Structure 1
Amino acid sequence: MAQYVTVTDVDEYLGDGWADTGQKGRYVAMANAWLSAQRIDSTEPVPDEIKTAAAELAAAAEEGVLYEQHEQGQVTQDEVEADGVRSNRRYAASADSFGDNAALPQRVQFALALIEPYRKLPMGITVGYRNGCI
Structure 2
Amino acid sequence: MIEYITVEEVDALLGSSWSAADKKDEAVLIANVWMTNQQLPDTDPMPEEWKRAAAYVAREAAKGGIYGQAEYGLMSKSVQAGDVSSSKTFASNHKIVSAGESLALALLKPWLGGLGGGVFMLKRI
Settle same-fold status: TM greater than 0.5.
yes
| SS of residue paired to 1:78 | strand
Is contact 1:41–1:120 with CA below 8 Å preserved after alignment? no
Q: 1:105 aligns to what? A: 98
State the 1:62 CA deviation. 0.6
Q: 2:88 aligns to what? A: 92
Q: 1:76 aligns to what? A: 78
Bigger shift: residues 47-56 or 37-46: 37-46
Q: 1:11 aligns to what? A: 11
Aligned counterparts of 1:54 and 1:67: Cα–Cα separation in 2: 14
Is contact 1:70–1:104 with CA below 8 Å preserved after alignment? no
Q: 1:59 aligns to what? A: 59
Structure 2: 5+ residue runs without aligned partners?
115-125
Structure with the bigger percentage of strand: 1
Q: TM-score, normalised by structure 2?
A: 0.71
The alignment-based identity, stated in percent, is: 31
The Cα offsets for residues 14-63 of structure 1, whole Å up to 9 and x where unpaired, read as: 10121222331211110000111111112222111111110000000111
Q: Evaluate the alpha carbon distance shift between residue 58 and residue 74 of structure 1 in structure 2; reply closer, same or farther with a 3 A threshold.
A: farther
User: Computing the radius of gyration over CA atoms, which structure comes out larger, 1 or 2?
Assistant: 1
Q: 1:86 aligns to what? A: none
User: Which letter does structure 2 place at the counterpart of 1:117?
Assistant: P
Indicate the RMSD between aligned Cα atoms, in angstroms: 3.1
Q: TM-score, normalised by structure 1?
A: 0.67
Aligned counterparts of 1:54 and 1:26: Cα–Cα separation in 2: 13
| Residue 119 of structure 1, aligned match among 93, 112, 120 | 112
Is contact 1:53–1:115 with CA below 8 Å preserved after alignment? yes
State the 1:117 CA deviation. 1.1
Aligned counterparts of 1:25 and 1:103: Cα–Cα separation in 2: 24
Aligned residues: 109
Structure with the bigger percentage of helix: 2
